[in-house]
Structure 1
């Protein structure tokens, strides 16, 4: 997945601020359909996290945040090894972040 330019662009953009699919589409210069496909794949792999942006006008929408913090590729004695580190957020932190967004 990380060899895909759109997936990398989405992760980079979503690592700065949580963004909606529309915002990611504009920021990454990719079609909304492409962004939604990559969002599905990245979320399934645990590299991207979805949350709901609750608004006072009742118009709630999903935003996405990158959880990937580090990707390591090593070559040793003719063999490649990879390590992926993702940030995990517990329920209390997620609730706090959601509450602060209100």
Structure 2
């Protein structure tokens, strides 16, 4: 992850209707920005702003695809698995779990789980 989100910022960001919808829609299959705009009933600029933030915090990944005409376009897939919030004596402890982003990350995660 490029940087950890402070608890307040993460909770505020997940409170955003469009960010949540994009995560939900891309959890089952990758979608293009146009597909997300339609599914989320949002404008393309709104979708792209949320995608930028989701990508910045590794909650979503972009994959480049080629269409039949040879043009490329991005599809987006959620990497967020879950958010666990624990109340502690000193405040809140937040654990964000994500899908490994590549084969090496998946191997490392498998090894650490053993």
CA distance in 1, matches of 2:17, 2:27: 15
**Residue deviations 1:37-79 (CA, integer Å, cap 9, x gap):** 0000000000010011123430221000000011111223462
Partner of residue 67 from structure 1, selected from 59, 64, 79: 79
Q: Which segments of 5 or more consecutive residues in structure 1 lack a partner in the other structure?
A: 93-102
SS in 2 for 1:30: coil
SS in 2 for 1:10: helix
Kindly tell me: are residues 91 and 77 of structure 1, through their superposed partners in 2, closer, same or farther at Cα, counting changes over 3 Å? Answer: closer
Partner of residue 6 from structure 1, selected from 18, 21, 34: 18
Q: Does 2:70 correspond to 1:58?
A: yes
Report what 1:100 is aligned to.
none
Ranges of 4+ aligned residues in structure 1 off by more than 4 Å: none
Per-residue deviation at 1:80? 1.5
| TM-score, length of structure 2 as denominator length | 0.74
> How many residue pairs are counted as aligned between the two chains?
92
| TM-score, length of structure 1 as denominator length | 0.82
SS in 1 for 2:100: coil
Kindly tell me: are residues 76 and 91 of structure 1, through their superposed partners in 2, closer, same or farther at Cα, counting changes over 3 Å? Answer: closer
Partner of residue 49 from structure 1, selected from 51, 61, 74: 61
CA distance in 1, matches of 2:23, 2:59: 8
